[in-house]
Structure 1
Amino acid sequence: MPELPEVEVTRRSFVDRIVSSTILDLRLGKPLRWPLSISAQSLVGRQVLAVRRRGKYLLLDLDEGLLLLHLGMSGSLNFSPSQPVAGPHDHMDLVTTQGVLRLHDPRRFGAVVWAPSEVSPQAQKLLGHLGVEPLDGGFDVAEFGQALKKRHAAIKQVLLAGHEVVGVGNIYASESLFMAGIRPTARASRLSRPRVAKLHAAIIQVLTRAVQQGGSSLKDFVNAEGRTGYFQLEAAVYGRAGEPCRMCHTPIRSMLQGQRTTFYCPTCQKP
């Protein structure tokens, strides 16, 4: 599933090419998770002013309203001067004066939604519950610690929920907890201030590194230029069950947490 780094990498791979373009057509395939909420034809003639990211959503700011795009479980975007004939898993072609942005999503969990503004009910239904962005300078360690004190669930589950900090999905939660030396099952409310500080720093470091490496291409993720990511090649625990820990050589373990597989080192990560 594309997580925050993959969505940010995707944004960076086409933002400079689509900004200032004018929409010529919007072609939609099979229905996705939510309806567009406006007729596709009504977007013709609108200009793309910016492309931002909020959590795992991409926000295309138009001169009137915005488009919210989500890649779902296995979606990807491709931006090219032209596109081949759409296949059965190509569900959106945003045709602009500077190229065509295509959403490819085999599982159809992605989304293309128009909203009149970011504070409108349509947008807030999708964005209103999201926590603090970890990479924009507003992720405060003291506030993070205060928020965790109110959460009695396992810290891995709290991170995945995204209410305190957004975008720390399964891969990067496992990696951040390893870097901080915290067992995924540790209760969030019981983490000491020093451990919270380590986790806060680890989240920023892991996500920043993942963006630098182009994200993680575990199955089929590619950015809007068709390039894969490489962060998975340097993962410390994720996907390495049974392999020796890179720090202490203890075999990495895996377990299910909330129907997601968690990876951890039983020696380096303390309860």
Structure 2
Amino acid sequence: MAAPGIVIVGAGCRALRHGVYWLLESRALGFTVDPRLMRAHEKVALRHLAAQVPDPELRRRLTPDYTIGCKRLLISSDYYPALTRDNVTLVTDPVKEIGPHGLVDASGAEHPADVIVFGTGFRVTDAPRDRRITGRNGLRLQDAWRHGIEAYYGVTVAGFPNLFLLLGPNTGLGHNSVVFMIESQVRYVLDCLRLLSRTGAKALDVRTERQRAFNRRLRARLDPLVWNAGGCSSWYLDEHGVNRTIWPGFTFEYWARTRKVKPAAYELLF
């Protein structure tokens, strides 16, 4: 017989979803307004670590030396226990090379291995390798982004009419669900299409000066925040240390800014 459970429907589901959203959104206060507000989160995280890792030496090696939030927060009840198992050895030195019999770390120690599992998917700041995305005057997206990826609200790219991105540059999050960002972007794209329909234009292209100004403001906002100044090296940053991944504010701010397309930001092509 199945164990009894609780089923939440209708307005209860919406209330639960809103509650979770605002709980996660509140973390942006510490990330973007006052870092001191994250101290409570840090204390909770350290208590969680102490409860799950009794070995003081292992716990010391697992304790971050950077501000909480600098790297993406991992919410899990299984991660730490996995590292305390007898058949697991934690190595904190970076991998230097793969040798004939296993991995060699930066200290020169070799770790024999039968199987190596690569953790991939973290090079999110690279320009796409596919050279088939071509814009005005034959410009390829890969070439336009050779000095770093950027867009206008992460959706449109100057020089590429009618190219719309979802989860483009600087629309990732370190505190809430990106699904909300995707939903906002889809609405923005639809409003772009409505603008084309109203005007009879065949395409729209964000003005270069608008995109550059937007990204200058974005960089200025990011510079003092934990994702840039938290004391860590993360996949949020490109090879030059520029944050091309994170939206530096509240998700509801992004939603408000992308509710309506500003026609003046675009060149309409007929």
Normalising to structure 2: TM-score of the pair?
0.31
Normalising to structure 1: TM-score of the pair?
0.31
Larger radius of gyration: 2
The structure in which a higher percent of residues are strand is 1
